[in-house]
Amino acid sequence: MASSLQSLLYTSRLAAGYGPTEVGRIVKQAREMNAIHGITGVLVFDGDWFAQYVEGMPETMAVLEAHLRADPRHSDFRVIDSGPAGPERRFPNWVMGYADGDIDGCGLDISALAQADSYEALQRFAQAIKTLDVL
């Protein structure tokens, strides 16, 4: 049976006028909403850029992407990879894992990630996340 899960990997910047404390609000809101809607994933923030991988049912993911694009806290929103996910969730226990790229030192260069092709970007992201003890 083919997977009906969809995934989304994107990058964006924290929009002008928002400080680092806003990131905590974003994570809190994402955890609440993702738990309700059956979305799992992880967010990395390096002090300027976000990189996020999320997965869920197709309809839910379409709504999430629309909300992310419209969220004034994000700018320079760029989809790196979107489409059918594998047969199992990559992060089944994380309604929203979070890593501070500056502090956690995951080695993820988000601006370079945005320039890579989708396969390479997903591989880089997955490799960096393996090194983290994500909350």
Residue 50 reports pLDDT greater than 90: yes
Report yes or no: 93 and 49 within 8 Å, Cβ to Cβ. no
**By the 8 A CB rule, do 114 and 80 touch?**
yes
CB 85 within 8 A of CB 34: no
Spatial separation of the C-alpha atoms in residues 134 and 68, rounded to whole Å? 22
Tell whether the model's pLDDT for residue 51 goes beyond 70.
Answer: yes
In the predicted structure, residue 104 carries a pLDDT above the cut 60 = no
What's the whole-number average pLDDT of the chain?
87
Distance CA 130, CA 89 (A): 15
Non-local CB neighbours of 109 within 8 Å, separated by 6+ positions? none
pLDDT for the residue numbered 101: 67
Task: Spell out the domains of the chain, with CATH numbers in brackets.
Answer: 6-130 (3.30.70.100)
User: 92-122: string of b/e by CB count within 10 Å (b at 16+)?
Assistant: eebbbbbbbbeebebebbbeebbebeeeebb
pTM above the 0.85 mark?
A: yes
Residue 133, pLDDT score: 52
Per-residue pLDDT of 4-40, as tens digits, reads: 899 999 999 999 999 988 999 999 999 999 999 999 9
Burial (0-12, 13-18, 19+ Cβ within 10 Å), 12: buried
Q: What was the pLDDT predicted at 116?
A: 85
